[in-house]
A = this chain, B = another copy of it.
Amino acid sequence: VTTGPLFPGGVVIIGTGLIGTSIGLVLRERGAGVWLADGDPRTARLAASLGAGELLPADVPGPAGAAALAPPPGGAADLAVLAVPPDAVASVLAAAQAAGLAACYTDVASVKAQPLAAVRGLGCDLASYVPGHPLAGRELSGPAAARADLFLGRPWALCPGPETAKSAVTSVTALVRACGAEPVTVEAGEHDRWVALVSHAPHLVASAMAARLADAPSGALTLAGQGLRDVTRIAASDTGLWAQILMANAAGVSEVLAAVAEDLRVAAVALAEAQAGGVASGGEPRKRLTALLDAGGAGVARIPGKRGAPATPYAIVQVVIPDLPGELARLFQAAGEAGINIEDIRIEHSPGLPAGVTELAVNPPAAPALAAALTARGWPAHIPESTGNPEQAGV
């Protein structure tokens, strides 16, 4: 329900890494004009070639590799997005405002209080600046990893202050909505304490667990399962950027980490006591371990599910299909011939095996007919009894 063109004066994106390029892809898909700039002109050119926007003509390397900034040909843009690391936000904002780049500004850094303090220190205009932070990312970085759906359904923190103009908040909120994200308004310091808990400390916890694997016997790694992959996945991210993020949110992250470290130390001691004491000491150490496991379960239960995901009204039909060219197309053809619409599909890949399990979601009354049609054509299909919670269906 748009009431007019999105950002008729265009948007400038400074910094064309994963986040900046993804924002450009969304805005171009929505028909907005996008101008791209990056301190590294090759990165900006790659983002432009991916369809994230046009190069800002003034994007020529200035002294010390910094891009020289000037407004787009048509004059100041409606909005400039500073998609640069936390340490660079203040200086880039100062340069952008000095050049009269846009009517208002936002950034996407993962910490907010320290960049905001630096922005104040440089005497930037605070009325036109809305600090922002989209809670989205990938293990991959750079423009080539960008995708227009990166922000879909994700929270996007906005930290306007008393000085912030209402028009700037309106404009940045329109950007967040255009990206399909959910704006969450929060004070900058509180934002930092929140992300220390839900993003920054978990990152270091994943790193500390993964670090144990660096010198592990390779046999141990043959037993690695999905649980280990999940616990350690985010530790594979850009080390330099994360060191910067953690240093910029040091107090909050330190507090959470110290508490996690102490809980783990206590658990290690409890286990060592149980080992030393045998069954005799079993009760007390087990009680301490169970308390930590219970607290963990209670914590996980508080994490909201994916936002707005409706309870699916569909029934699931599982079908085992050979990993052969064209099998999926034949499967859909068979469903079509049986007059059944397939509403969704999930394929459980079966690495190294000649077959995979595919789950087809259909309207419940159609499930038995689909299973029968597939079975008749030679695919083993069945309807699992319990298809209760699709969020938990993956291992």
Jot down 19 A-B pairs with beta carbons below 8 A, ordered by A: A147-B318, A152-B357, A153-B352, A155-B225, A191-B223, A197-B220, A199-B228, A213-B299, A224-B303, A232-B296, A247-B271, A247-B286, A250-B272, A251-B272, A257-B264, A310-B352, A328-B342, A329-B341, A333-B336
Cβ-based interface call for A231 (8 A): yes
Contact of A242 among B155, B213, B293 (CB under 8 A): B293
Give the docked Cα–Cα distance between A262 and B344 (Å): 46
Cβ-based interface call for A253 (8 A): yes
Contact of A250 among B237, B271, B303 (CB under 8 A): B271
**New contact pairs (7) apart from A145-B386, A204-B292, CB-CB < 8 Å:** A51-B382, A152-B353, A230-B234, A261-B264, A309-B351, A328-B341, A333-B336
Q: How large is the interface on A (under 10, 10 to 19, 20 to 34, 35 or more residues)?
A: 35 or more
Q: In the assembly, how many copies of this chain are there?
A: 2
- The listed residue with most B CB atoms (<10 A of its CB), out of A227, A294, A309, is A227
Known: A198-B225, A230-B231, A231-B205. A265 touches B258 (CB 8 A): yes
Contact B271 A214 (CB under 8 A): no
- The listed residue with most B CB atoms (<10 A of its CB), out of A300, A326, A343, is A300
Cβ-based interface call for A260 (8 A): yes
Cβ-based interface call for A346 (8 A): yes
Interface residues of A in 256-278 (CB under 8 A from B): 256-265, 267-269, 271-272, 274-275
Report, nearest first, the 5 A-B pairs whose CB atoms are least far apart: A308-B352, A207-B296, A213-B299, A210-B299, A211-B295
Note all chain B residues with C-beta closer than 8 A to A310. 352
Note all chain B residues with C-beta closer than 8 A to A382. 51
Give the docked Cα–Cα distance between A133 and B1 (Å): 55
Give the docked Cα–Cα distance between A366 and B8 (Å): 37
| Nearest opposing residue in chain B for A191, CB measure | B223
| Nearest opposing residue in chain B for A196, CB measure | B220
